[in-house]
Amino acid sequence: MRLKRLVCFSLLFLIGLIAGLKSYEQKQASSLTMVLTGDSIITRRLSVNSEPEFLRLIEIIKAADVAFTNLEILFHDYEPYPMHESGGTYLRAEPSLVKELVWAGFDMVSRANNHAGDFGVLGMELTTKYVNEAGLVQAGVGRSLAEAREARFLETGKGRIALISCASTFPDHARAGKSRDDIPPRPGLNPLRFTTTYVVTADQLEYLRNLLQQWGLNPPKEGDQLMFLRQRIIKGETPEVRTSLNPDDLAEITSVIRNACRLADLTIVSVHSHEQGKDRFSPASFLVEFAHAAIDAGADVIVNHGPHILKGIEIYKGKPIFYSLGNFIFQNETPLRLPQENYEAFRLGEDKHVADFNEARYASDRRGFPSQPEYWESVVAFLKWQEKELIEIKLIPISLGFGKPRWIRGRPFLADSALGRKIIDDLKRLSLPFGVNIEYKEKENIGVVVIPAKTEEKK
């Protein structure tokens, strides 16, 4: 009898082991789909809308195994006061609107951006509370620098996904700090700092030196560099702008990436960066440097956002870098209230309100958001992974309603074929400097990134 029980137990154990191995093998062999979007500034409900082009886009997001967006809004009921400096317009929305992102299919959000500190620490912490309660994985802010830097993880049936979020564009008061034994840390966002050096010709440097002398600012009478308005200016052959990463931030963030990639199947690194390169459609040199360093440390995809327009795509060592995915939800014109600081900037009195602020802001800037279609044209990136290998990138063109009234525009729709081709052609042109080709598929109205073969990558 004892022998019979032992045999039965052994058979059951073997069957369970085989079933477990088969399940593991199936998981390893299965593909994982991922949706990446740009900035989401949400101030109005999404789920009340029923246009076919909108709902088809939502279904694409819901169908993905992982869906990510940059959360560039704060959720609170005006318990916190506004800080003396914001990331631009002070951004805030009803706490219930976070559930609209869950309805739309999103799983993960980045929080490190220039609006994270608009309403101080309390505004940040209330947003963290509401986002947690909604069940979204969030990264990029914390009660200390260590917490803001750390990766957060999403558990799915197809794999474990890590998210690390940082920002190079922010008011300095929003930056998280470290602690000492005798003083608590400063809550805030995960910073990716950099320095800027302006290169000018010898004649230009001497002209600036003479100008500073005339202003009574006592510049050095000789030498190959000057400081002006806290900016370093050096002599060179041709004028250019050089940017370089803060070595401490780079070391600490890449250390977090190396840890995360050993704890997850795939690692997403999110960067919020407004800075530009030679023009507003190209990335700053420090951002390219950081993206490469992050992939060298083990990241699987880099997604940048912040400039609100599309920028190019690079494939580095088989891993995608999206230098900007533009906007996904851009409802920045319909907040309920704005602080006095926003009105004062345009000399608007206490009898003025949000609509007056919008009109004053764009009247003074003819190149503001409403007048430029590129702020309202974007893509949703749909990626497919086979284990750790990227096998597909589809680019789904979307329109956010350029030219429509401000209470309507800002919500994404699938673009029609004419606009879709135009958006993909624009992105193809922006990606060519990185050696990336994008093919437009007319039947599906999408772009497809041509992923180089591994043999081509080595060359």
pLDDT of the residue at 167: 98
Pick the closest to residue 70 from 190, 170, 165, 188 (CA basis).
165
pLDDT at 111 over 60: yes
**Averaged pLDDT for residues 246-256:** 98
Tell me how far apart the alpha carbons of residues 286 and 243 are, in angstroms, rounded to a whole number: 5
pLDDT of the residue at 21: 40
Q: Which amino acid is at 424?
A: I
User: Bridge partners of 355?
Assistant: none
pLDDT at 147 over 80: yes
Tens digit of pLDDT for each residue in 347-392?
A: 999 999 999 999 998 886 666 788 899 999 999 999 999 988 999 9
pLDDT of the residue at 365: 63
Confidence of residue 15 (pLDDT cuts 50, 70, 90): very low
Pick the closest to residue 165 from 277, 307, 69 (CA basis).
69
pLDDT of the residue at 14: 45
**Averaged pLDDT for residues 277-290:** 94
pLDDT of the residue at 364: 66
Confidence of residue 322 (pLDDT cuts 50, 70, 90): very high
**Averaged pLDDT for residues 214-235:** 85
The CATH H-level (homologous superfamily) assignment of domain 29-192+247-332+366-458 is Metallo-dependent phosphatases (3.60.21.10)
pLDDT of the residue at 62: 98
pLDDT at 416 over 90: yes
Full DSSP string of 255-287: HHHHHHTTTSSEEEEEEE---BSSSTTSB-HHH
Tell me how far apart the alpha carbons of residues 217 and 305 are, in angstroms, rounded to a whole number: 39
Tens digit of pLDDT for each residue in 295-310?
A: 999 999 999 999 999 9
Residue with tokens 């007319």: 442
pLDDT at 266 over 60: yes
Domain ranges (residues) in the chain: 29-192+247-332+366-458, 195-235
Pick the closest to residue 60 from 247, 352, 328, 404 (CA basis).
328
pTM for this one?
0.89
**R_g of the chain, CA atoms, integer Å:** 25
Q: Is 352 exposed, middle or buried (0-12, 13-18, 19+ CB in 10 A)?
A: middle
**Residue 365 near residue 382 (C-beta atoms within 8 A):** no
Tens digit of pLDDT for each residue in 69-86?
A: 999 999 999 999 999 989
**Averaged pLDDT for residues 180-200:** 93
**Averaged pLDDT for residues 148-172:** 97
